[in-house]
Structures are given as C-alpha cells and as structure tokens.
C-alpha cells in the first residue's frame, strides 16, 4: 500500500493507524469529511448568506444593503403572498396524495411481478433519461388547445370546442404528479419488495381475507416506503417552479415562482430569501409533524 515506498511513509501510516485506532471517531469523521465539506461550502454557507439577506434592506439594483429589518417577513403576510403559499401547500399535498394513490398500486404490482420486476422498474425511471424541462414542454404539446388531446377529442366529435387545459390548476397538478410519481413508486416498491411472502401466507391461514391481508400486513409493513415516498414528493413539490411556470401561467404561481421572480425580475433578494425561509419553515413543520405522528402511532417500532 502507500507505506510500501519507504520507511518514512510506512512509519507515518503506522503512526496514523495507531493514533486513530484509539480515537474511533476520527476515522468516521475522515470518511465523512468530503461529503460534509461539500455540504458545508455549497449548502450551509449560502444558506447562511440567505438567512442574513432576509433580514437586510433591499439594494437598488439587486443585492442588499446593511441593516436589520423584519419587513420582508412581515410583507409575506400580505393576503397576496399568503394565497400563493396556501396554493403551493395545496398543490404539494395534492401531488403527494395523487402520487400515493396512483403510485402504490404500481409499486405493489411490480413488487410481485417476479422476473419482470427489473424491467418494470427500469420503465418507471426511464423518464429521468430526458430533462424535466423537455418533458414539461412535451406536456404543453399534449394539453394546449391545438394539442394532441384536444385534436383527438374534436376528431372523435366528443367535444366541439377544445377543452381549456393549459394554465389551469388541472395542468399544474397533472404536471407535478407526472414529475414526482417515480419518487413515490421507488421507495414503496423497495419496502414492498422486502416483504416476506410467508407473512401473507401466515395471515391467510390465520383467516385473513385479501382485504384484511392488505390492511393488516402489507400496508403497515410498507409504511416506511410510504413515508419516504411522501417526503420525497412533498418537499420538492413545495419548492417546484418549473411546472407552474410552464403549465400554470401567471394565474397559478407557486412560492417557487415568487422566489425566482424576486431574485431575477424584481431584484428583491431579501424578500426572495425571506420567502424561501418561509417555505423551509413549512417543510420542517410538516416533516416533523408527520414523523412525530408516526412515532406515536406505532409503538411496535418500524
């Protein structure tokens, strides 16, 4: 190994091994250093700046001026912005709900598909091969007045006028669910896949019919996947801006769009930062509330 070059290097290596052997924490830290360093420099420090900005005064051409003020946070309580926040939370919750309702059965079926499992899971993650932006544009082509869906409906004489889909909540929700569904399927699939089939047989011999087997055995044992999937969908959905921008138009603005506008168009960095922190607060509250409620309800431990 590295110590092979000379007695000096070997001695150094030996010294390190001896020294660190007595301090197991040091070895763990040295393994974690690259990852933690990365997060520290590129996540935690910028976050600190943002937090500081959110309490400073707005600069004339963007940026900030020194000082301390709560005005940006207070401004957020304007009904205009609260509506946006509420809409965002509703979208994120809705997206989580629909992803769960549609994703669970998919994950369930795939987990029981034997030899087809890997192919089917491959198909689930296939959309990631193209950029989300491109895929969202593709949805515009599907949903616009002269798009595939309306053209087909009119051709079949099912409707006279094109149905207005773009720039509606329907379009935004569809886009969000489309984008985040795989994040729901993956963790649920992995917890269902680990489910020991003999547990279902045991339940069946004990008298459980299919519905009871699902509610008493399958569902509780896949809850870790449901929790992970819900968080993986809810959190990014809360911060998403691309879908609402392209499919929702100005009417369906989400907090993500607000932040983006404040930083890029309005050049109001402090308010943009404050809005970000409000979203972060909502996420933290939601996640802790969610995990706490699960702790209390499952004394058996999962």
Partner 1 sequence: MAAPVVEFRNVSKTFAGHKAVRGISFHIDKGEFFSILGPSGCGKTTTLRLLAGFEEPDEDGGEVRILDEVVNHRRPYERKLAMVFQNYALFPHLTVEKNVAFGLEQRGTPKGEIVTRVRNALENVRLDPVKFGGRPPAALSGGQRQRVALARALVLEPSILLLDEPLGALDLKLRKEMQLELKSLNRRLGITFVYVTHDQEEALTMSDRIAVMDNALIAQLGAPAEIYEHPRTAFVARFIGESNFLEGAYAGREGTWALVRRADGSLVRGRGGDGRAEGAAVKIAVRPERVELVQPDAVPEGFDALPATVRQVVYRGEMLHVRVTLREGGEMVAAMRNEGQIRNPVRWQEGVACMAVFAPDDARVLEEDPA
Cα(288)–Cα(281) distance, integer angstroms: 11
Cα(80)–Cα(100) distance, integer angstroms: 30
> In the bound complex, what is the minimum distance in angstroms from residue 120's beta carbon to partner 1?
21
Q: Compose the 158-197 pattern: x for residues touching partner 1 by CB under 8 A, - for all others.
A: --------------------------------------x-
> In the bound complex, what is the minimum distance in angstroms from residue 302's beta carbon to partner 1?
6
Which helix (DSSP H) or strand (DSSP E) does residue 64 occupy? Answer: strand 64-65
When asked if residue 228 is in the footprint of partner 1 (CB under 8 A), the reply is no
Identify which of residues 224 and 249 has a Cβ nearer to partner 1 in the complex. 224
Whether 270 contacts 55, CB under 8 Å: yes
Q: For the segment 7-46, give every residue that binds partner 1 (CB under 8 A).
A: none
Identify which of residues 164 and 201 has a Cβ nearer to partner 1 in the complex. 201
When asked if residue 82 is in the footprint of partner 1 (CB under 8 A), the reply is no
> In the bound complex, what is the minimum distance in angstroms from residue 113's beta carbon to partner 1?
17
Beta bridge partners of 64: 58
Identify which of residues 146 and 198 has a Cβ nearer to partner 1 in the complex. 198
| DSSP state, residue 116 | G
Between vectors from CA 231 to CA 228 and to CA 234, what angle results, nearest 5°?
A: 150
Cα(38)–Cα(51) distance, integer angstroms: 19
Identify which of residues 22 and 209 has a Cβ nearer to partner 1 in the complex. 209
Q: Is 57 helix (H, G, I), strand (E, B) or coil?
A: strand
Whether 219 contacts 297, CB under 8 Å: no
> In the bound complex, what is the minimum distance in angstroms from residue 216's beta carbon to partner 1?
7
When asked if residue 291 is in the footprint of partner 1 (CB under 8 A), the reply is no
> In the bound complex, what is the minimum distance in angstroms from residue 96's beta carbon to partner 1?
23
Cβ atoms within 10 Å of 168's Cβ, excluding its own: 17
Whether 265 contacts 136, CB under 8 Å: no
Q: Which of 221, 194, 199, 187 is nearest to 106 (CA)?
A: 187
> In the bound complex, what is the minimum distance in angstroms from residue 228's beta carbon to partner 1?
16
Cα(142)–Cα(162) distance, integer angstroms: 12
Q: Compose the 195-224 pattern: x for residues touching partner 1 by CB under 8 A, - for all others.
A: -x-xx-xxxxxxxxx--x---xx--xx---
Number of residues that bind partner 1 (CB under 8 A): 21
| DSSP state, residue 168 | S
Identify which of residues 52 and 221 has a Cβ nearer to partner 1 in the complex. 221
Identify which of residues 216 and 292 has a Cβ nearer to partner 1 in the complex. 216
Residues that bind partner 1 (CB under 8 A): 196, 198-199, 201-209, 212, 216-217, 220-221, 298, 300-302
């Amino acid at each position: 190994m590295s110590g092979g070059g000379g007695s000096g290097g070997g001695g150094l290596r030996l010294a390190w091994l001896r020294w660190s052997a007595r301090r197991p924490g040091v070895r763990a830290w040295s393994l974690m250093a690259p990852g933690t360093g990365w997060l520290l420099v590129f996540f935690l420090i910028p976050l600190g700046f943002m937090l500081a900005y959110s309490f400073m005064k707005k600069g004339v051409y963007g940026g900030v001026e020194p000082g301390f003020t709560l005005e940006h946070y207070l401004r957020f309580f304007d009904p205009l912005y609260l509506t946006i926040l509420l809409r965002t939370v509703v979208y994120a919750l809705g997206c989580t709900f629909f992803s769960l309702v549609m994703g669970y059965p998919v994950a369930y079926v795939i987990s029981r598909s034997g030899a087809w499992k890997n192919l089917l899971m491959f198909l689930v993650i296939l959309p990631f091969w193209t950029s989300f932006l491109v895929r969202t544009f593709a949805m515009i082509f599907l949903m616009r007045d002269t798009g595939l869906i309306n053209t087909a409906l009119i051709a079949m004489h099912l409707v006279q006028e094109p149905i207005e889909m773009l720039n509606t909540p329907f379009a935004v929700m569809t886009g969000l669910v489309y984008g985040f569904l795989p994040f729901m399927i993956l963790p649920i699939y992995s917890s269902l896949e680990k489910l020991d089939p003999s547990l279902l047989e045991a339940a069946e011999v004990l008298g459980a019919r299919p519905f009871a087997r699902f509610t008493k055995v399958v569902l509780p044992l896949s809850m870790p996947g449901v929790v992970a999937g819900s968080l993986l969908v809810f959190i990014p959905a809360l911060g998403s801006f691309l879908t609402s921008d392209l499919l929702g138009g100005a009417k369906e603005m989400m907090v993500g769009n607000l932040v983006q506008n404040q930083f890029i168009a309005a050049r109001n960095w402090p308010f943009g930062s404050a809005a970000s922190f409000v979203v972060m607060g909502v996420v933290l509250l939601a996640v802790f509330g969610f995990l706490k409620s699960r702790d209390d309800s499952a004394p058996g431990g999962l």
